Structure 1
């Protein structure tokens, strides 16, 4: 596994070593000791989640706050997404900065999303199967988010907004200014 820094502090792109032969491929998706050696971060993950989305579905921008804030490693099992994170930690040198990357079932990249980051993705294939490895249990009272088209964050989804499919909850998330002043 390669662990590459992104432009956002404490956020990493994980590139697996893929073994391929006439039968197909094999890869190690996570190994705690190796990740700790390469990143300097030793997390204990306690919950895995999975979502299935169709073309044009946008899920985000979400985060957990308070004592149940989550660090996540996210990846695509099937399909292709534009994955987007934003640093929402006011004391961070990359506060309010955005990073996006294509995650798909061909490159098999993963993204390490630390506590204090907003996260979302847009499905670019007919269907996507998306996996989340979390270091905290999901707690409904701790969930929060910022609207996907926030003018202060200016996220380039590179996709027509009128074709995006969002949950009713995601359509009414607060703006960055409403949340952070």
Structure 2
């Protein structure tokens, strides 16, 4: 599996090696030890989400408050998306910047986003399907959003404004500056502290339990 760190610290691209023959294709979409070695700790899977989108649908910018926020491993079994990773961690050296990757059913790349990063996707094909492996279950009280059309962030889309389809919630989301003023953004310092806590917790050995006695 090929691994590339994106220009936003805490985000990586994973490209699997595909084995094709006359029967079809086989590949490993996710391996826990590969992610663990790259990120510094295991992805503690708590939930898997799937969404199906028509061409032009935009989902995001979404994030969750730290801690525990929600790390994501995003892949596409069908169709194609542009996947945006946005650094919304105040105090980060790349705060307000973003990177993007095309994830599709051809190269079958996956994207890992650490806790505290913003995320948005744009469907490039009809019926495009995306899977999210996530480290925490959905918590509506901690889920937040930012405007995908915020000029301060400046995401670049392949469609004109009137071609994009957004949910009412995403349309009403605040700008980066508004969220910062309201204290709704995670800080880089608290994210780094949380990442360190995950590495420490994973490094500690699990106590052995005595086998139960036979009745």
By the TM > 0.5 criterion, same fold? Answer: yes
Computed over aligned residues only, the root mean square deviation of the Cα atoms, in angstroms, reads 1.2
CA offsets, 1:90-122, max 9 Å, x none?
A: 132221110111111101000001111110111
Alignment pair present for 1:163 and 2:173: no
| Alignment length (residue pairs) | 181
Alignment pair present for 1:118 and 2:118: yes
CA offsets, 1:130-152, max 9 Å, x none?
A: 10000011101111010010011
Alignment of 1:135-150 (within 5 A): 135-150=135-150
Report the TM-score when normalising by structure 1.
Answer: 0.95
Alignment pair present for 1:69 and 2:61: no
Unaligned 5+ runs, structure 2:
182-215
Q: 1:68, 1:139 within 8 Å by CA — same for their partners in 2? A: no
Alignment pair present for 1:98 and 2:98: yes
2: distance between equivalents of 1:120 and 1:34?
24
2: distance between equivalents of 1:39 and 1:116?
14
2: distance between equivalents of 1:157 and 1:25?
31
Q: 1:17, 1:28 within 8 Å by CA — same for their partners in 2? A: yes
1:39 CA displacement: 4.1
For 1:179, the equivalent position in structure 2 comes to 179
1: distance between equivalents of 2:67 and 2:9?
21
For 2:13, the equivalent position in structure 1 comes to 13
For 1:79, the equivalent position in structure 2 comes to 79
Report the TM-score when normalising by structure 2.
Answer: 0.81
2: distance between equivalents of 1:60 and 1:132?
14
For 1:50, the equivalent position in structure 2 comes to 50
Q: 2:56, 2:163 within 8 Å by CA — same for their partners in 1? A: yes
